[in-house]
Amino acid sequence: MIVMKFGGTSVGNADRIRNLSKIVSENIHRKPIVVVSAFNGVTDHLINLAYNALKGDLNLDWLINRYLNVMEELGLDFDLLKEEFKELEVILKGISYLKELNAKILDLVMSFGERTSSKIIAEYLNNVGINARQFNAYDIGLITDSNFGNAEVLEQSYENINKYLSNLKDCVPVITGFIGKDPKGRITTLGRGGSDYTATIIGAAVNAEEVQIWTDVNGIMTADPKVCPNAKVIDALTYEEAYELAYFGAKVLHPKTILPAKRKNIPIRILNSFNPSNKGTYIVANVERKRKVIAIVSKKNINIINIHSPKMFLAYGYLYKIFEVFNIHKIPVDLISTSEVNVSLTIENKYEVAELIKDLKEIADVELYPSRASISLIGKEINQEPNIAGKAFSILGEKGINIEMISSGSSKINISFVVNQELADLCVRELHKVFFENE
């Protein structure tokens, strides 16, 4: 049994869906379970619709036309989505009447992307002779906590899904990525890009032989190919490397994707639906290689928070007090760099910081530096070669790029530093030259 997850660009139009059906049928002997994302752009559009509804604009034309075009080309009847569109309209009306929009309502609205794409794909697969059945992940047992917008899957899901899917005979399940339900039956989402995570949750639940992530690039690359055209495909990575790479900014994988696969030792393969014969990237427990740096990733839209308190010199409990504040505000810290009286750390700018800073100011002087980016060099033995950081910093120095914060060693898998966001792409390209192109 294998899990095959198709991302937004792999299901975005009629051609891509035909292509998907070919890939699935070529793998039919491996008993595929298909997980799908929303059509590309649809999740963003649904978010816009929710905000438009708040302003009283309930226009669904763009969405309807998007589906009509695809479905007409595939020979499918738009009535297939009648129920979903009726429900979406009611919800948007509700938002406009109540003038209320929150994470819970947004999750419900976003869920229509995957609920509709999976229905279209299952129907099309049937029309071309593949016995497929559509499922919403929550109807086969995927339950989460109630952290709307970034929900965590509950342990019980694995057994539920296993039970459900092992009772299905001779059909290809086509399952919604990204969404679940909390124990009260409310729809949740697993965080943007979360369909990858759904794929390994299902893979781990059924003990799949492999989880395949079908996307629009030839695999995980030495840098984002959109930023660095010379990026090369990495043949194989360890689970830990893939996690760090995803966590520190490589959009190709949702970071949590690795966890269920690692637990069950299930390999993940990243494949290109535009170039299916390419062998892609393999993610497994152990990889033998000589090179130390395997990729350069960047994460934009982060803030540096600088916390300084000379009066804490030689005092204990300082760090405890600071992290207590982050804990109270439930804001995760990505990178840290400390000295006796100074602590610099980074957080994603999606978190509201006004209250956090107010509380931190009770303890120390606080400065916020917005619009920063972290740059990370990734590799499982990166800390075993002495001159990697030196090499990186000297080239950036030569280019006049100011490094504002350095953090290394905590995971042994990355060396990370922070620069002004506008310089992030340049940094990635320059470092890529040094570590991958000038050898």
Sign of the torsion formed by the C-alpha atoms of 242, 247, 251 and 255: positive
Q: Which of 49, 125, 130, 221 binds ligand ADP (CB under 6 A)?
A: 221
* CB 271, min distance to ligand ASP, A: 16
Q: Does residue number 111 form part of the binding site for ligand ASP (CB under 6 A)?
A: no
Nearer to ligand ASP, 175 or 304 (CB): 175
Nearer to Mg ion, 110 or 415 (CB): 110
Residues in the chain: 439
Scanning the structure block, which residue is given the tokens 């296993």?
162
* CB 257, min distance to ligand ASP, A: 10
Site map 186..225 versus Mg ion, x via CB under 5 A:
-------x--------------------------------
Backbone angles phi, psi at 150, to 5 degrees: -160, 55
Nearer to ligand ASP, 251 or 279 (CB): 251
Residue 268: CB partners within 8 Å, gap ≥ 6? Answer: 200, 210, 211, 212, 213, 242, 257, 258, 261, 282, 283
For residue 18, give Cα distances in angstroms to 14, 31, 70, 217, 297: 6, 19, 11, 18, 33
Q: Which of 4, 5, 6, 7 binds Mg ion (CB under 5 A)?
A: 7
Structure tokens that stand for 387 in this block: 């001159």
Q: Which of 116, 144, 176, 215 binds ligand ADP (CB under 6 A)?
A: 215
Site map 136..175 versus ligand ADP, x via CB under 6 A:
----------------------------------------
Q: Does residue number 200 form part of the binding site for ligand ASP (CB under 6 A)?
A: no
What's the first-to-final CA gap in the chain, in angstroms? Answer: 41
Q: What is the dihedral of CA 381, 382, 383, 388, to 10 degrees?
A: 150
- For residues 135 and 176, the answer to whether their CB atoms sit within 8 Å is yes
Structure tokens that stand for 368 in this block: 């916020």
Binding region for ligand ADP (CB under 6 A) out of 131-139, 245-253, 368-376, 411-419: 245-253
What CA–CA distance (Å, rounded) separates 53 from 151?
24
Q: Does residue number 255 form part of the binding site for ligand ASP (CB under 6 A)?
A: no
Site map 13..32 versus ligand ADP, x via CB under 6 A:
--------------------
Instruction: Select the binding partner of residue 224 from ligand ASP, ligand ADP, Mg ion, none (C-beta < 5 to 8 A, by kind).
Output: ligand ADP
Instruction: Select the binding partner of residue 11 from ligand ASP, ligand ADP, Mg ion, none (C-beta < 5 to 8 A, by kind).
Output: none
Residue 273: CB partners within 8 Å, gap ≥ 6? Answer: 6, 9, 10, 16, 19, 20, 23, 214, 215, 216
Q: Which of 30, 86, 99, 251 binds ligand ADP (CB under 6 A)?
A: 251
The residue at minimum Cβ distance from ligand ADP is: 7
Q: Does residue number 224 form part of the binding site for ligand ADP (CB under 6 A)?
A: yes
* CB 299, min distance to ligand ADP, A: 10
Site map 118..157 versus ligand ASP, x via CB under 6 A:
----------------------------------------
Residue 260: CB partners within 8 Å, gap ≥ 6? Answer: 158, 197, 200, 201, 203, 204, 266
Backbone angles phi, psi at 114, to 5 degrees: -80, -35
- For residues 254 and 197, the answer to whether their CB atoms sit within 8 Å is yes
10 secondary structure, DSSP code: G
Q: Binding residues for ligand ADP, per CB under 6 A?
A: 7-10, 37, 193, 215-217, 220-221, 223-226, 250-252, 295, 297
Q: Binding residues for ligand ASP, per CB under 6 A?
A: 7-8, 37-38, 43, 113, 177-178, 192-195
